[in-house]
Every structure is written in C-alpha cells, then in structure tokens.
Amino acid sequence: MNRCDRRLVACALFAIIAVVAAASYDRERLEIAKQILEEVPLIDGHNDLPWNIRKFLRNQVNDFELDTDLTVVEPWSISKYSHTDLPRLREGMVGAQFWSAFVPCGTQNRDAVQLTLEQIDVIKRLVEKYPQQLQFATSVTDILQSHGARPRKIASLIGIEGGHSIANSLAVLRSYYQLGVRYMTLTHTCHTPWADSANEAPAANGLTDFGEKVVREMNRLGMIVDLSHVGENSTRAAIKLSKAPVIFSHSSVYSLCNHNRNVPDDIIKSLKDNGGIIMVNFFPDFVKCAPNATLSDVAEHFHHIKRLVGADYVGIGGDFDGVNRVPRGLEDVSKYPELFAELLRSGQWSVQELKNLAGLNMLRVMRQVEKVRDEMRTNGVEPEEHPDSPSDNGNCTSNAFYTENV
C-alpha cells in the first residue's frame, strides 16, 4: 500500500469514527430529552383533533379508536391535517394537552355557542372513553396528578379558540368555565365586536369597554387570556389590563417570519412584566414564511425568545391537527423528544431551562392565574355585568320586553 492509499484509508476511518461518534451523541441527547420529559409534564398549548373529529366523523366518537395507529386508518391516513393518536402521544411523551374547542368564524352571530358546546362535549367524551390513558384536567393539581399516576395519564384540558364563541355574553363565558374551559383566545381570524383579529384591519384598535370586561371576568374566573390570532393593539391592551399572566397558545416570532400570526419582539418583551409565555407554533408558514421548514428552523424561534427574554417565558404550541404542513423532523406528536434533543444539540439550553420550557413555565402561569382568581374572590370582586351585548349584528337572540302581564 503506497502513501496515497494509506492516506485515503486513514481519512475513511476518521470519517467513519466521526459518524459513529455523532450518532452516539445524538442518542445520548435523545435519552437526556426523554429523561426531562419523564420528570416534567410536557404541556402542549394547542391541538385541533376535536375539530377533525367533527369534520371526519360528525362528532361520532363511539366507534372512533384513538388508541390505534391512525396512520393506517382512513380518513385519517389520507388527511394532511392528521398528526395525533394515543400511540403517538405516548411516543412523544406528551404530559398535558390543551384540546381546542374551535368553531369557525362563519358561526359568529349564528350558532357559535351551540357548536362550541358540542366541541366541549366531544372532548369530554373522548377523555371518558380512555380513562386509563387520558384524565380530564382543569388545574395545576390535576396535571401533576395525571403525570404522577401509574400508569401515567395525559392531562386533557380545554381551550376555546375564538371569542366569537361567547356570542357577546359574559354569562356564556362563565358557563364555559364551569364546563372546564381554562383558556380562551380572544379572537380567531375574524374580529369580535370587542377585540381585533390579526387577520383584519383594526376596528376596535384595542379593546372596547365590553372587551375589557371580558378580560377582567376571565381573570376573576381563573380562565387564561390567550392572545394568539389577536391584533397587535388588542394584544397590547389585554396584556396591560390583565392582572394575571397571558399566553400565546400557538404563535411564533415575527422578527424571524413577518407573518401577522406571529408576535413582535416588543410584545414578547412585555411578557416579562406580565409573567406570561409564548408557546411556539410549528406551522412552516409561521416558522419560515414558506411552505417548508425543518426542526432546526423551529428551534431558531425558541433560541430567539430565550435570547430576548430568557427561558422562563416560552412554551410549546405545536398546532398539530390544525395545519396541513409540518416541519421535517416534527411530523406529528411523536416527535417532541427530537425537539428537545435539537435544543440540547445547540448548546444554548441547560437541562433546567428545558424543563421550564417543557411544562414548568406553563404550570407557573396557571398557578398565578389561579392565585389571581382566588384573591379576587377573597376580596369580594363581583362578576362583570353588561346590560346589552356590544353588537348583535343580526345574532339570533330574542329581545326581552319588560312589560307587566295584566
């Protein structure tokens, strides 16, 4: 063997060693990631599976088998919007999931309340169907109990996506809380009469008097104010007004992708004073402003938030089952450990910071929301009232005429 041949052999050996070492490091990081999620419940802020159950099955859950591999069951297997089942949730080590009780903006001023109640019902029925794997949750205590159970259960919480679901009624808002709803997104892709959506030109330019009552009543109830989808001025007004921490349940960083669904840096900075969190969304349109994205692209949004405000103000809001494209490496709910391994690989996150990201930050937010609720009750703060809805716009309601029957 001549000198050139020996050099080629040596280079090949070094390359093989490097590949083996890299694979070993990848496995080690993945094991650390899994250990983190064993110790801390991974809390995801937004999953649209309930709406797909409505679309695909008309909310008929008796014969729906969430505990099977839906990648081989139609219509789930042929839908680009399907990323969730119990086997993949287990593989992804999800500890708590906010299930979205979503109804479209087209229901506003029509049957939004009825359809929202039906989505709340389907979430509760799904949890009841799988009592060994899912546990209905409304509090920090419930999440910790389900994570500590053996076998471990996935805490299942309800979030309403869109203030149009209350039909301009504080009484409906209170009723949702009694049913177990623990956050509400103030708007979806349409304005409400009292708050602006990020998808339309400003109208309220903040919050109307009724919108302020909605935020104060959510504080009093102990319902988290969610600002994903909400216009910038309404978002700033809600953060300024809220006595409790707010969340962005599934939004990403505007300075990395200037999409109107993403959050500008100045608003992210305001979360430090408010105590809230931004839960990063995985949709490529919000991650890269492009049809495609990768796991490392998503990681950049986490890195940016950490550099901007620290690791205490960030969480995860994958938006699975609500999007038709996902990043390479985050194809479904089974891939959360890979996200944590990628953050470890960057060298920018400590194990404790990743525990905060996984769930401790959200638990802190929920504890503070519960504390504000309890303090307002102790101080005798009465429910908000409003004599008339801000604008019915043809809503199917009856006008009450207070005339004596003689």
Q: What is the pLDDT of residues 253-292, one digit of tens each?
A: 999 999 999 999 999 999 999 999 999 999 999 999 999 9
Task: For CA atoms 250, 49, 176, 144, give the dihedral sign.
Answer: negative
| Segment 76-89, tens digit of pLDDT | 999 999 999 999 99
d(CA 311, CA 309): 7
Query: Annotated active-site positions, please?
Result: 46, 48, 161, 188, 229, 250, 319
Domains (range + CATH), the chain: 47-378 (3.20.20.140)
User: Binning pLDDT at 50, 70 and 90, where does residue 13 land?
Assistant: low
pLDDT score, position 300: 98
Q: Do the beta carbons of residue 193 and residue 390 sit within 8 Å?
A: yes
d(CA 111, CA 106): 9
User: Binning pLDDT at 50, 70 and 90, where does residue 75 land?
Assistant: very high
pLDDT score, position 26: 87
| Segment 334-346, tens digit of pLDDT | 999 999 999 999 9
Q: Do the beta carbons of residue 37 and residue 336 sit within 8 Å?
A: yes
Helix, coil or strand: residue 157: strand
pLDDT at 394 over 50: no
User: Binning pLDDT at 50, 70 and 90, where does residue 388 land?
Assistant: confident
pLDDT at 213 over 60: yes
Higher pLDDT, 11 or 115: 115
Q: Which of 16-20, 40-44, 179-183, 201-205 has the lowest mean pLDDT?
A: 16-20
Q: What percentage of the chain carries pLDDT values higher than 90?
A: 88
d(CA 231, CA 235): 6
| Segment 285-316, tens digit of pLDDT | 999 999 999 999 999 999 999 999 999 999 99
2 contacts: CB under 8 Å, gap ≥ 6: none
Mean pLDDT along residues 147-160 = 97
256 contacts: CB under 8 Å, gap ≥ 6: 262, 287, 300, 301, 304
pLDDT at 148 over 80: yes
Mean pLDDT along residues 16-37 = 78
Taking only Cα atoms into account, the Rg of the chain, rounded to an integer number of angstroms, comes to 23
User: Binning pLDDT at 50, 70 and 90, where does residue 400 land?
Assistant: very low
Mean pLDDT along residues 108-133 = 98
Which tokens in the block code for residue 106?
């087209």
Mean pLDDT (the chain) is: 93
Question: Residue type for 219, please?
Answer: N
Mean pLDDT along residues 100-123 = 98
pLDDT score, position 5: 67
